Every structure is written in C-alpha cells, then in structure tokens.
Structure 1
Amino acid sequence: MIPIQDNIPTHRFAIITVLIILLNALVFGVELLWTTGGDAAIRALGIIPAQATADPLAAETLRRLLTSMFTHAGVLHIGSNMLYLWIFGNNVEDVMGRLRFLLFYLLCGAAAAAAQILVNPSSSIPMVGASGAVAGVLGAYLLLFPRARVRTLVFFGYFGRLVDLSALWVLGLWFVLQLFNGLLVIGAAQANMGGVAFWAHIGGFVAGMLLVWPFLIGRPRPQISRRSF
C-alpha cells in the first residue's frame, strides 16, 4: 500500500519539508561517492546502540543521532521515507509553522532512536534513516487530519489499483503493522541483528502524537479545507 497524495491543500510553500528532503538527498549522494563504500558511510554516520547506551550524552553520540536521521541504506529506503514526508509533512508544517515543525521533526527522530535503543541496547549495528522522524509526522497528521482522503496504490497480487482511503485507515493500518512486527521481533532481538527498526517507527509515531498539541500552542486552529482529486 503506497500513498500517492492527499486532499488537504497547504496555504504556503512547505520550505522546511522540501529542505529536509533535499538534505536527505544530498547526504545520500555523499554516501554513493564515499571513497570506502556505502557501508563505511553508514558506520560513520549512523548511531550505534551499544555506543549510545554506554555514553548517551557524549558529543559523538549526539552527532551520530543527528546524522543518522539523514542517512539511508538504499534507494528504496530513502525513496519511501521522502515520499511519506512529502505527502504528509507539508500539511503538518503548514499548521505548525516552519521553525516549530523543524524542531518537532528532530525531536521525533530522537525519540524514535531512543525507543529502538531501549529495545536492543547492545546492538553494534548502526541505525540510519529518517523513518522515525517521518513516523512522528505521520502521528501528528493522523490527529490533525483523520478524515483526510489519501489516494493510495493498493496491490492485489501482481496488480495495483488506486483507491481513496481515509488517513485514519492508511496511517492507522501502517502503525498497527509496525506494532505487530515490533512485537514479533522484540523477543528475538540480538546484539548484532539488523533489519527494519520497527521500534523506531513506533517510538516516532507515538512521540508525534504526544508532541503535536504542545507544538500548536499559540498557533491558529487549522482550517480543514479539502480539495477533490
């Protein structure tokens, strides 16, 4: 199930969302040009749970926490994250305001990393990706626009069909799947097990739902207008 667009128009250009996407693309380009290979880039830029657990407030840990949010493991990884960020992030930025949205995004990313580290604190596998921060955006969007319509590509076997679904269904189902997979792997977590950081997704999503209202204090209430597809 791949979201294509939503029907909530924005009132001004989402410059922070675009800049985040461009920065992610720039870092991915640097990864591709990294002289010692992409894996070395991931190890240099990703946050390593075992190191973060040993010294969580060290400058190196905080640096890796930041750089890991803009580092990705492949084209599909960055492509899916940036697609979700573009579709849902522009509306959250529009309601929240630019600087608040930037801080919100970074805090959700930090909360996501913390959640994954708590589940697997001894792992020596670097964690990378914007997924946790983007998950926070999804959590905020779900609370702000639960009845928004999201044009979604749904696959039936080898065939795909465009279907208009409510954000409640699209994002709610996404979260349920993350939670289901997270519960499956939590008991099997091993120090050096890689793969998808489901608990980062879960932590980011929950953080987004908890932080969205404090970040809207003093902001105008969102005017929910919708456009037809």
Structure 2
Amino acid sequence: MVIPVHDVNPARRTPWVTYALLVANVVVFVFLTPGVVGSVTGESSLAQLCDLQAFLERYAVVPQELIHHRMPRLVPTGQTGVGPQGPGCVVGPPGYDKSPELSVLTAMFLHGGWLHLLGNMLFLWIFGNNIEDRLGHVRYLLFYLVCGYAACYGFSLLDAGSHEPLIGASGAIAGVLGAYLVLYPKARVWVLVPFLVFLPLRLPAWIVLGLWFVLQAVYSTGQGVSAAGTVAYVAHVVGFAVGALLAWPLKPGTPPPPEPRGVLFGRRARRTW
C-alpha cells in the first residue's frame, strides 16, 4: 500500500470548507470523544471504555437503527457496575431521543483512534482542495455530505442486522477520492512506497487511487485481511463509486493539471539536450 504525501495539482482558490472539515474532525476527536488519552497511551480504564460505548451508541450510526428506524430498548449508560460475570458496563433504557438519520451526520466526525483520524485527514488534505476548487465551496460541502450518507446507507443496507456502531469520515472522503480519479486521473501524486525503506515516487493519480479502490473492494469481501469486520470497507467502496458518478458530468469542463517538469522520483532529471 502506498502512502500519498502531496499532489502536483495547485488549486485556484483557498479550500475553506476542506480546512473547516479538518478542524472539525480534530476538535471532535480531541475535545469531545471520551477516552482520547487512553487511545494514545494504549491504556483505558473500564470507566473510560463504558463512557466511550455510551457516547458511540448515542452519536454513531447503528445499521439496525438506521434501516428499521427504531431505538433499542437497552443501551450502554456510561456507568460501570458489577454483575454475575464481574465488573462491566451498565445498560439501561435510553435517556435520550436519537434520530438515526441525523446520526449519519454526527458519525462522519467521529473516529476510533489517532491512526483512523490521521489517515482520513491526510487523504482529505491532499485531495479535497482540488475537488472543492472544481465544485465551489457550497457544492463541495453538499457533495461531501451526500457521499457520506450514501456510504453509511450502503453499508447499513448490506448489514441491516448489525448492532455495531459505524463511525468515521472514510465514506465521505472516499467520495472525494472517486471524484479526483474521474476529474484528475493524470495528476501526479508524490507517494511513499514501503520497500525496506520508504521510497518517494511520483505516480499518476489513476494508479494511486485506482489501487486504493481495488484494495478496498478486495478487503470488502473479507479477502486479504484478518479482521475485515472492524473496518467498513463496503462503505469506502460505495462512497468512492458515488463520488465518481457525481463527478463524471463535470469531467469535460475540467482543465487538466499542470505537467511537472524536471523532477523524477524525488531527484532532478538530467537534460539530454
């Protein structure tokens, strides 16, 4: 798997919406999500875990709730207790009203750990500015939300009986990647390729994002991963496909990215004339 670092595709306008999304995701994770300290140290107390379970139950997408539009009778309360099997998290009737449809929006700003957050923000930082530049600020925000909703509903329809919370901006960002592949397939992307050491290479976007999509599609079938159930790869595939379809009508009027000259694979190329 290659790690994108930077694309050679300057934008004409400041990507204010992309910046706002980046800040919002970081703020929600650092200041509003319980157990962030434990996610850094790797040590979480039972109280922190119970608090996080209750938080996710309230603000994350639960496929069964979303598809059947009904709340469970018992949810984690965030409190700890001692039962027949020892200490654990207390469950009880929900003390709040939850809109499953609105939870799709709140879930887009929740992440399960620092790697989850930073990985998503890296892709949004690199590829989001050009899609915002092409669509404009308002249309880009709507596009982002539509892709996120489509990804959540697509995953939930295929696993309508699941009680596991679904979180992350991955579905919406996958839509951004799909649009980038359609609009700027020849844009050059600097990537790091792990091969003994990290090798810097400049590859066309169609290779970088095409490979990413193929891997997500393969992983969504359970092939090549040991814990496919912990990552909603299907949501990535759906978000990517929706983003690509929405961007397709804009392809004829999209100017091509500039072709970089004089630099090849991280070194300045020598002229032969």
TM bucket, shorter chain = 0.7 to 0.9
Is the 2:147–2:171 Cα contact (8 Å) retained in structure 1? yes
Is the 2:184–2:257 Cα contact (8 Å) retained in structure 1? no
Identify which range, 175-184 or 131-140, moves more after superposition: 175-184
Pairing partner for 1:222 from 254, 263, 268: 254
Which residue identity does 1:210 align to in structure 2? L
Pairing partner for 1:168 from 206, 216, 223: 206
Partner deviation per Cα, 1:150-194 (whole Å, 9 max, x = no partner): 00011014x211111110000000000011111227xxx9xxx94
Is the 2:58–2:98 Cα contact (8 Å) retained in structure 1? no
Which residue identity does 2:100 align to in structure 1? T
Pairing partner for 1:66 from 101, 105, 113: 105
Pairing partner for 2:181 from 134, 142, 145: 142
SS in 1 for 2:27: helix
Return 5+ residue gaps in structure 1 as ranges. Answer: none
| Map of 2:133 onto structure 1 | 94
| TM-score, length of structure 2 as denominator length | 0.74
| Map of 2:192 onto structure 1 | 153
Shift of the alpha carbon at 1:22?
0.7
CA distance in 1, matches of 2:179, 2:4: 17
| Residue 50 of structure 1 pairs with residue 64 of structure 2 | yes
Structure having the higher Rg: 2
CA distance in 2, matches of 1:99, 1:22: 17
Q: What is the Cα-based RMSD across aligned positions, in Å?
A: 2.4
Cα 1:26–1:183 change in 2 (3 A) is same
Which structure carries more strand by proportion?
2
| TM-score, length of structure 1 as denominator length | 0.88
Partner deviation per Cα, 1:122-167 (whole Å, 9 max, x = no partner): 110000000000000000000000001100011014x211111110
What does residue range 33-44 of structure 1 map to in structure 2 within 5 Å? 37-44=51-58
| Residue 201 of structure 1 pairs with residue 202 of structure 2 | no
SS in 2 for 1:23: helix
CA distance in 1, matches of 2:218, 2:35: 37
Shift of the alpha carbon at 1:33?
6.7
Shift of the alpha carbon at 1:39?
3.4
CA distance in 1, matches of 2:121, 2:59: 19
| Map of 2:33 onto structure 1 | 31
Shift of the alpha carbon at 1:227?
6.3
Return 5+ residue gaps in structure 2 as ranges. Answer: 37-47, 71-96, 264-273
SS in 2 for 1:25: helix
Q: Which protein, 1 or 2, shows the higher relative CO under an 8 Å CA cutoff with sep ≥ 6?
A: 1
Question: What is the identity percentage for the equivalent residue pairs of Structure 1 and Structure 2?
Answer: 42
